[in-house]
């Protein structure tokens, strides 16, 4: 294994001032991941900048923020949590965490710090790219990359179910007109439930709504997302009970 010297590895594709591609910053001490994900993103029309540790990335990202960052949590010199904490002092850039840890406390801490989504290793590049595109759309930064999405991008009406309002184009959610910060995965699960109030959705159906066909997730993953969503809604409304559990069957949404 090559020794990690902590240097910044430049794969910056911003070739000229006329280059309007969105820039994705990848920060991970695994060079194989950096290379493969960078190639996949460039094939989708993005520009990439890659860094092998948080300390090397911090100054570059602070001085010249990308459109979105993908950070590994466990890195030498400065981990992803600390990188996000310090970056948030100067920049609201959207961030997705990658991690090999299977610990809900780490996920909750990252999301509380302001991460936009969280994907566990090993991960599907298809899933990661879908999440990146969705977060950029939600952030209102749709120019430059993802031309196929732009061609199919049509104005969409908000989904309103009682006190719930969902904006599919921007992945924004509110309850009683108060914003609720959901990850992309949580949004997709909630959208599948709210689309047909009262209809029971099995865990498999919710997994199909939130994950590509080639990504394996188990039942507990959906349960964890539901648990976090309820916690976020109850922070606004302690009486929130619109997401119901039907034991042995799945979940449903009620707008009553």
Tens digit of pLDDT for each residue in 47-82? Answer: 999 999 999 899 899 889 999 999 998 888 898 999
Same domain, 97 and 142: yes
Token pair in block for residue 216: 């394996």
If one counts the domains in the chain, the total is 2
Weakest mean pLDDT among 40-49, 134-143, 206-215, 228-237: 134-143
In a domain, 12, yes or no: no
Residue 230: predicted pLDDT: 93
Predicted pLDDT at 237? 95
Do 146 and 199 fall within a single domain?
no
180 and 197 fall within a common domain: yes
The answer to whether residues 61 and 117 belong to one domain is yes
Based on its alpha-carbon atoms, the radius of gyration of the chain, rounded to whole angstroms, reads 19
Boundary residue ending a domain (102, 119, 150): 150
- The DSSP line for 105-145 is HHHHHHHHHT-SEEEESS--HHHHHHHHHHHHHHTT--SSS
Q: What is the largest CA-CA distance in the chain?
A: 59
Tell whether 8 is covered by a domain: no
Residue 197 vs residues 187, 191, 237, 254: alpha-carbon distances, Å: 15, 10, 19, 5
User: Domain check: are 37 and 114 in the same one?
Assistant: yes
Residues 47 and 116 in one domain: yes
Instruction: Report the pLDDT value the prediction gives residue 116, as an integer from 0 to 100.
Output: 80
Please give the model's pTM, rounded to 2 decimal places.
0.63
Q: Which of 150, 185, 200 is the last residue of a domain?
A: 150
Q: Give the best-scoring range by mean pLDDT among 105-109, 183-187, 207-211, 235-239.
A: 235-239
The confidence score (pLDDT) of residue 254 equals 92
Q: Which CATH number covers residue 34?
A: 3.40.50.2300
Long-range contacts (CB closer than 8 Å, 24 or more residues apart) made by 160-164: 161/194, 161/197, 161/242, 161/253, 161/255, 162/242, 162/255, 162/256, 163/237, 163/242, 163/255, 164/194, 164/242, 164/255
Give the residue numbers spanning the domain of 209.
159-253
Q: Which residues contact 96 (CB under 8 A, 6 or more apart)?
A: 68, 69, 70, 71, 115, 116, 117, 118, 119, 128, 131, 132, 135
Q: How far apart are CA 106 and CA 88, in angstroms?
A: 18
Q: What pLDDT is stored for residue 110 in this prediction?
A: 67
Q: Are residues 57 and 137 in the same domain?
A: yes
CATH, residue 163: 1.10.10.10
At residue 245, the 3 state secondary structure works out as strand
Residue 99 covered by a domain: yes
Average pLDDT across the chain, whole number: 80
Note whether 188 and 91 are same-domain residues: no
pLDDT at 117: 83
**Residue 116 sits in the same domain as residue 194:** no
- Based on the fold, state whether residues 190 and 79 are members of the same structural domain: no
Question: Does 240 share its domain with 123?
Answer: no
- Domain assignment present for 222: yes
User: Has residue 211 been placed in a domain?
Assistant: yes
Cα distance between residue 194 and residue 140, in whole Å: 23
Same domain for 41 and 123, yes or no, is yes
What CA–CA distances, in Å, run from 59 to 10, 13, 64, 199?
14, 19, 8, 49
Domain boundary among 132, 150, 168: 150
For residue 2, being part of any structural domain is answered with no
Across 3-36, b (16+ Cβ under 10 Å) vs e yields: eeebebbebbbeeeeeeebbbbbbbbbbeebbee
Q: Token digits for 199?
A: 């209809």
Rounded Cα–Cα distance for residues 240 and 154 (Å): 32
Residue 1 lies in a domain: no
Minimal CA–CA distance to 215: which of 125, 82, 106, 96?
Answer: 125
Q: Which residue has the higher pLDDT, 4 or 189?
A: 189
**95 belongs to a structural domain:** yes
């Amino acid at each position: 294994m090559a020794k990690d010297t902590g240097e910044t590895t430049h794969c910056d594709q911003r070739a000229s001032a006329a280059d309007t591609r969105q820039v994705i910053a990848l920060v991970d001490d695994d060079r194989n991941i950096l290379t493969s994900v960078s190639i996949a993103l460039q094939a989708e029309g993005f520009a990439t900048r890659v860094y092998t540790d948080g300390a090397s990335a911090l100054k570059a990202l602070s001085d010249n923020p990308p459109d979105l960052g993908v950070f590994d949590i466990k890195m030498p010199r400065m981990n992803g949590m600390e990188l996000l904490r310090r970056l948030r002092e100067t920049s609201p850039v959207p961030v997705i965490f990658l991690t090999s840890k299977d610990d809900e406390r780490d996920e909750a801490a990252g999301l509380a710090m302001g991460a936009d989504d969280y994907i566990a290793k090993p991960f599907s590049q298809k899933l990661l790219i879908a999440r990146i595109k969705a977060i950029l759309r939600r952030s209102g930064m749709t120019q430059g990359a993802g031309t196929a999405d732009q061609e199919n991008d049509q104005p969409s009406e908000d989904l309103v179910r009682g006190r719930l309002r969902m904006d599919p184009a921007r992945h924004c959610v509110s309850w009683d007109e108060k914003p609720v910060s959901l990850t992309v995965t949580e949004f997709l699960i909630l959208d599948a439930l709210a689309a047909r109030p009262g209809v029971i959705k099995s865990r498999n159906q919710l997994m199909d709504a939130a994950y590509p066909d080639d990504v394996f997730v188990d039942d507990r993953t959906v349960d964890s997302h539901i648990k976090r969503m309820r916690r976020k809604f109850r922070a606004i409304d302690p009486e929130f009970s619109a997401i119901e559990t039907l034991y042995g069957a799945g979940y449903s949404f009620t707008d009553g």
